[in-house]
Chains A and B, each alone.
Chain A
Amino acid sequence: MLLEVQGLCKRFGDLAALSQVSFHIRTGEVLGLIGPNGAGKTTLFECMAGVLSADEGVLRVGGRAVPAGQRSGILFYVPDSIVPWGSQPVGWALDYTVGFFRGRGDLRNELISELSLEPLLGRRIGALSKGQRKRILLAIGLLTSQPALLIDEPFEGLDLRQTREVAGVLRSHAGRGRTLFLSIHQIGDAARICDRFVLLSNGQVRGQGDVGELAALAQARAPGGSYSTLEEVFLALT
């Protein structure tokens, strides 16, 4: 087990965005965070990364609680819908990630090739399309050196072909030992890439495990149903 989240709570006024969220992440796995819109997926990622203060709860690594300010060594979070350093060229942003974030310079050219970034290197990030920007963000995340990478909506803005290609890239990096925790709202995409899932709804964990384990959980809660796909499990548990 790489890390464990225990009893995470976050309130925004009267709204309980996260309530006693607990789960664990195994080393080298691709864990999917799935849930309907407004389930608290982004809030969970931000609390885990220390970008947002949690009201309660701990993140443990090897049984030791790691405070928000000391998580830079264990995980890196790539938010959705951001345009960092928009006036700078893509090539410089990748160099900056390697230099400032002490990222993996050995992966730079490989990622440029894998994510088809070569034609974009000289272009300003702010001038790119949504899908192109998403590929840049993925490259930035994959260039970092933390063992766990949290990516919010990795396929948002990508077309079908790109989604498949990016899924392949992510799987290949997971295969080399990188642990990925992906927030995905498209259940089909999640089913294609993830090893296990955390189902989140209304700020609460409704279940965690692989498709078989989740199907068993759904069967226990609503006997008699058909739970052969992740979509059916998702609908039953959320």
Chain B
Amino acid sequence: MRLRKGPFRWLVEKELRELAAARSWWVLLVAMGPLVGISFISAVNTYGEVSGLNGTSAGVGEALSPLIGIWGPTFSSCELAAVFLLPFVIIRLVGGDRQNGALKLELQQGASPISLVAAKTVVAAIAWIVAMLPALSAILLWKSYGGSVYWPEIGAVVVGHLLNGGLTIALAASMASLAEHPSTAAILTLGVTVGTWILNFFGAIQGGIWEKAAGYTPAVLVAEFQHGLIRLDVLLTAITLVLLGLSISAVWMRLGETTARRAALSAGLMGLAAALILGCTFLRGSWDLSESRGNSFSEADERALRQVRQPLSIEVHLAPEDPRRLDLERRALSKLRRTMPHLSVSYVSSTSIGMFEQTASGYGEIWYALGGRREMSRTITEEGVLEAIYSVAQISPPKQDDEAAFRGHPLPTRPIGARVIFWGIWPAAFALAAAVRRCRA
């Protein structure tokens, strides 16, 4: 009976066995508990203190959201693991067959490289989900403290880290197939990751197309999901990149093909992916899953803004590195883009840092143009931007519904039992499982 499985099930079983034999995976699992623990304990302590623990003022705590205060920091350990630990697991999983010669046997069976990569991807996804278990267990612990849990926003965070893991898996898989040796694959994988960080940095300095491109890097993707925001363009871009990485892995895993043909196929795939990603950048759909609606204007403001049918142009005279520009983007413009489809924002500056433009006339001005009318403001707050838009659109600001405002979920608590769970039970459980597996093997 055991031998009647289909070839794909055999492949998945083999990859699962190889995963269980991989020390790099057990190291990842043992490290995850302490990593999550440090983040969670620190986050709960801070959250508790801001919520009024030990007699501190509870005033600020009223605005506290577990998404920002707890889940963002706690799951950030997954981001760290995805960058520095997960690639080694994937490189072992994908590159191991070439190193030990199994690939030469398996590809003779007639199985396509796509099915080999698919089996490895299924197992890599399982590896990543198991590695995320300590972070997921933090949700139960938080609930046991009496903490508020808003599942849609937690879902967004988890999906973000699953996608980030998917990007790492695809990147490491493609590098493991491209490179002859695992150490080369590891260097290439980390090189690409560092490259995305440089792109973020460059985008922050240069603005323009670089800033736009930086908006699709894994770090930005995770940050948005951690704020409960799911953007269709980012989601589809990430999925395209995952499929690209896995396809390139399959192309380079294929034996008996010339390097020139593989390179041509890879270039074709990259071209197709670039066209798809370019198409994705025009998509405007997004969902704010945060309980606090932190990525959206109030419902009353959104209703009022939707009444504005004419295109709105905003000209911002702030340099890319000016902190006011960042605040303006975060507090108002990112929300505005989600609400108003006919919005164009242009930045004007002579330098990247803006330090020497402060005395120039016009620097710091934000011009709003709609239907031939123009309005200038220097305010970068959400309220100030909305006020300027209502003024240039000649509509009355809506009456705010105070009942609907997010009041926060202050919780003056300490991370009781977290040290035992994350620094003791999780690493011990994984270490024990590794030892049992080794003994049975």
A contact set with B: CB distance below 8 Å: 49-53, 68-69, 71-73, 76-79, 81-89, 92, 95-96, 98-102, 105, 124, 126, 140
B102 near A84 with CB under 8 A, answer yes
Residues of A close to B256: CB separation below 8 A:
50-53, 68-69
| Residue B3 CB within 8 A of the other chain | yes
Q: A84-B100, A87-B17, A101-B105 are in contact. List 17 more A-B contacts (CB 8 A).
A: A49-B108, A51-B255, A69-B256, A72-B108, A73-B110, A79-B104, A82-B102, A83-B100, A84-B97, A84-B102, A87-B21, A96-B14, A100-B7, A100-B106, A100-B109, A102-B109, A105-B3
Residue of B nearest to A95 (CB): B3
Residues of B close to A52: CB separation below 8 A:
255-256
Residue of A nearest to B255 (CB): A51
Residue of A nearest to B11 (CB): A100
Residues of A close to B21: CB separation below 8 A:
87-88
Interface of B is mostly: helix
CA distance A124 to B17 in the complex (A): 12
Residues of A close to B107: CB separation below 8 A:
51
Tell me the chain B residues, 210-243 only, with Cβ under 8 Å from chain A: none
B110 near A50 with CB under 8 A, answer no
Residues of B close to A85: CB separation below 8 A:
14, 18, 100, 102
Residues of B close to A76: CB separation below 8 A:
108
Residues of A close to B101: CB separation below 8 A:
79, 81-84
Q: What is the 8 Å Cβ interface bit string for chain B, positions 249-260, against chain A (1 contact, 0 not)?
A: 000000111100
| Residue B373 CB within 8 A of the other chain | no
Report the minimal beta-carbon distance from B5 to chain A, rounded to whole angstroms: 6
Q: Looking at B18, B110, B255, B256, which has the most chain A CB atoms within 10 Å of its CB?
A: B256
> Do A51 and B7 contact each other (CB < 8 Å), given the known contacts A95-B2, A100-B14, A101-B109?
no
Q: How many A-B residue pairs have CB under 8 A?
A: 83
B contact set with A: CB distance below 8 Å: 2-5, 7, 10-11, 14, 17-18, 21, 97, 100-102, 104-111, 255-258, 441
CA distance A84 to B107 in the complex (A): 13
Q: List 9 A-B contacts (CB under 8 A).
A: A49-B108, A53-B258, A84-B105, A85-B102, A86-B100, A87-B441, A98-B3, A99-B5, A99-B10
CA distance A83 to B2 in the complex (A): 24
CA distance A69 to B102 in the complex (A): 17
CA distance A69 to B112 in the complex (A): 10
B7 near A72 with CB under 8 A, answer no
Residues of B close to A95: CB separation below 8 A:
2-3
CA distance A125 to B21 in the complex (A): 13
> Do A82 and B108 contact each other (CB < 8 Å), given the known contacts A51-B256, A92-B17?
no
> Do A96 and B10 contact each other (CB < 8 Å), given the known contacts A53-B258, A77-B108, A87-B18?
yes
> Do A99 and B3 contact each other (CB < 8 Å), given the known contacts A51-B107, A51-B108, A69-B256?
yes
Report the minimal beta-carbon distance from B14 to chain A, rounded to whole angstroms: 6
Residues of A close to B5: CB separation below 8 A:
99
**Which residue of A69, A78, A99, A124 is within 8 Å of B441 (Cβ)?**
A124
CA distance A52 to B256 in the complex (A): 4
A50 near B100 with CB under 8 A, answer no
Residues of B close to A86: CB separation below 8 A:
100
Report the minimal beta-carbon distance from A11 to chain B, rounded to whole angstroms: 11
Residues of A close to B4: CB separation below 8 A:
99
Report the minimal beta-carbon distance from A49 to chain B, rounded to whole angstroms: 6
Report the minimal beta-carbon distance from A76 to chain B, rounded to whole angstroms: 6
Residue of A nearest to B17 (CB): A88
Residues of A close to B441: CB separation below 8 A:
87, 89, 124
A50 near B3 with CB under 8 A, answer no
Residues of B close to A82: CB separation below 8 A:
100-102, 104-105
Report the minimal beta-carbon distance from A107 to chain B, rounded to whole angstroms: 13
CA distance A85 to B257 in the complex (A): 24
Residues of B close to A101: CB separation below 8 A:
105, 109
CA distance A95 to B1 in the complex (A): 11
CA distance A100 to B2 in the complex (A): 11
Residues of B close to A78: CB separation below 8 A:
105
CA distance A88 to B102 in the complex (A): 12
CA distance A73 to B101 in the complex (A): 20
CA distance A77 to B104 in the complex (A): 8
CA distance A87 to B101 in the complex (A): 13
Q: Looking at B3, B17, B107, which has the most chain A CB atoms within 10 Å of its CB?
A: B3
Residue of B nearest to A49 (CB): B108
